[in-house]
Amino acid sequence: MTALLVRDLKLAVRAGGGAMIGVLFFMTVVAVIPFGVGPDLNLLARIGPAILWIGALLAALLGLDRLFQAEREDGSLDLILMQETPLVLTVLVKCLAHWIATGLPLVIASPLLALFMNMDAPAMAATMLTLLVGTPAITFIGAAGAAVAVALPRGGLLVSILVLPLAIPVLIFGVSAVYAAVQEPAPFLPPFLFLTALTLVFAVIGPVAAAAALRASTD
Amino acid sequence: MRLVAERLSARRGEDLIFRDISFDIGAGEALVVKGPNGSGKSTLLRVVAGLLPRETGKVRLVGEGDHAFETVASACHYLGHRNAMKRELTVEENLRFWKDFAGDSAGDSGIGIDAAADAVGLGGIVHLPFGYLSAGQQRRMAMAKLLVAWRPVWILDEPTAALDAAAETMFAGLVKAHLSRGGLAIAATHQPLGLGAVKELHMAGFAEASAEAWA
């Protein structure tokens, strides 16, 4: 299993792996917002957490369609399906590798981009924390979508559309947790715990659904 | 240990591709599947490997000894049309991944990565990215994958396509060595593999399926 994790991380950072694509897209989206909205610092600070979360959500969805498609194209998926290792575990490890390569950079880049949005330190910290907890959920849901669309050429947009409704609760609780952290008197903990619960639930459902879809997709 | 298939049939879309295929191969034996294009050779191999659902019949392993395999697939190596190697990684990284990820089945163990590369005649270039190799070299390295992790059953789909005559002889040697270690092999091929006396299975093609469609 460590072998799979290491291999997927290597593939992500080598040419064509796409680890940086997500974070570059995230930066592009967030960097153009202040130009579009205008130099109203209070407005930017108020919408900042929501913009960061939307940008991170879209960036996290960007590379997901390749999660299993690349394996299928070169025949690796056949061999992965044949192993004694439970497929659910393999999918979980692939999700972890994908999150480390594409989700974690988003979390790390978020404080920098928060400066663009004139956010103060508590809002920055809350955004970073909620992204850290929430982005794995997007990867797990996305894995199920990627597995459903694995046999479709250009399934990228389809994956995003399939996955988006399920990712909406993550977005809602992520953003509301950040607002709760910076605005009195809303408590921070309830939405944050909901977000954590969502990630844990999808960590179970996502790989199980993805494994079932991969088994059914053989041709 | 024996690999037994009983009255297998498989469907693609509406049509039966083949019907009532049975075979039985034991340790040290090879089965060569022959037939024209589209007669269902690849489908049969994928059904045996558990990669396609079967319509009827079953595939099972008999007499595995102490270590029963959970599924037939987990006892098999599958060498399909695609090489299952990543172009961005070096050959060594590819082979090391499959060695670690697949692991050895009970009964024997795979050989080292350098030894496997030597066995396919390409020792000394394992540091190159897989994408840099020629089609024939890539195919040979995919064969080295069969050697690094032990599996009793080899399922080979057109294994020697894109290979020169010397490489075909080399591959026949690999399969013979595998059989002499008590392994089994099923190969679909148009070319003679040079394995000597082997069982043969001839696939007839669409005849039966179309007969049923008209019935």
Which chain A residues are Cβ-neighbours of B78 within 8 angstroms? 78-79, 82
Q: Which two tokens stand for residue A145?
A: 């979508």
**Sign of CA pseudo-dihedral B108, B27, B29, B60:** negative
Q: What is the pLDDT of residue B38?
A: 81
Nearest C-alpha of chain A: how many angstroms from B121?
23
Q: What is the pLDDT of residue B106?
A: 77
User: d(Cα B179, Cα A156) in Å, to the nearest integer?
Assistant: 44
Assess whether pLDDT exceeds 90 at residue A141.
Answer: yes
Assess whether pLDDT exceeds 90 at residue A16.
Answer: no
B1 has a chain A CB within 8 A of its CB: no
Residue pLDDT, tens place only, A21-48: 889 999 999 999 999 998 899 999 999 9
Nearest CA in chain A to B49: A82
> How many helices (H) does chain A have, and how many strands (E)?
10, 0
Nearest C-alpha of chain A: how many angstroms from B85?
7
Assess whether pLDDT exceeds 60 at residue B208.
Answer: no
A185 phi and psi, to 5 degrees? -100, 15
Residues facing B93 on adjacent strands: none
Q: What is the pLDDT of residue B211?
A: 40
Assess whether pLDDT exceeds 50 at residue B102.
Answer: yes
Nearest C-alpha of chain B: how many angstroms from A202?
25
pLDDT bin (cut points 50, 70, 90) of residue A186 is confident
Concatenated DSSP letters of B172-206: HHHHHHHHHTT-EEEEE-SS----SS-EEEE---T
Specify burial of residue B70 (Cβ count, 10 A radius: 0-12, 13-18, 19+): exposed
Per the structure, the complete domain to which residue A192 belongs is given by 2-216
Cβ A59 vs Cβ A23: under 8 Å: yes
Assess: ipTM above 0.90.
Answer: no
Q: Which two tokens stand for residue A137?
A: 């959920």
Nearest CA-CA partner of A72 in A152, A157, A161: A152
Amino acid at A93: V
Which chain A residues are Cβ-neighbours of B151 within 8 angstroms? none
Cβ contact (<8 Å) for A74 and B101? no
CA atoms within 13 A on the CB side of A155: 22
Residue pLDDT, tens place only, A108-131: 999 999 999 999 999 999 999 999
User: d(Cα B141, Cα B153) in Å, to the nearest integer?
Assistant: 19
B132 has a chain A CB within 8 A of its CB: no
Which chain B residues are Cβ-neighbours of A84 within 8 angstroms? 69-71, 74, 103
Assess whether pLDDT exceeds 80 at residue B120.
Answer: yes
A79 has a chain B CB within 8 A of its CB: yes
A201 Cα distance to chain centroid = 15
Nearest C-alpha of chain B: how many angstroms from A61?
23
Cβ contact (<8 Å) for A84 and B74? yes
DSSP H or E stretch at residue B3: strand B2-12
Q: What is the pLDDT of residue A219?
A: 66
Q: Residue A100 in 3-state DSSP?
A: helix
A215 has a chain B CB within 8 A of its CB: no
Q: What is the pLDDT of residue A100?
A: 94
CB nearest A82 (choices: B73, B82, B87): B73
Which site among A8, A72, A84 would you substitute to test the B interface, given the most B Cβ atoms closer than 10 Å to its Cβ? A84
Domain B2-214 annotated CATH 2.60.40.3950 = no
Q: What is the pLDDT of residue B129?
A: 93
B161 has a chain A CB within 8 A of its CB: no
Q: What is the pLDDT of residue B213?
A: 40
User: d(Cα B73, Cα A127) in Å, to the nearest integer?
Assistant: 46
Domain residue limits, chain B: 2-214
Amino acid at A155: G
- Residue ranges of E strands in chain A: none
Count A/B contacts: CB-CB distance under 8 Å. Answer: 75
Nearest CA-CA partner of B3 in B47, B81, B78, B59: B59
B89 has a chain A CB within 8 A of its CB: yes
**Sign of CA pseudo-dihedral B148, B153, B158, B160:** positive
Per the structure, the count of domains in chain A is 1
Mean pLDDT score, A190-201: 95
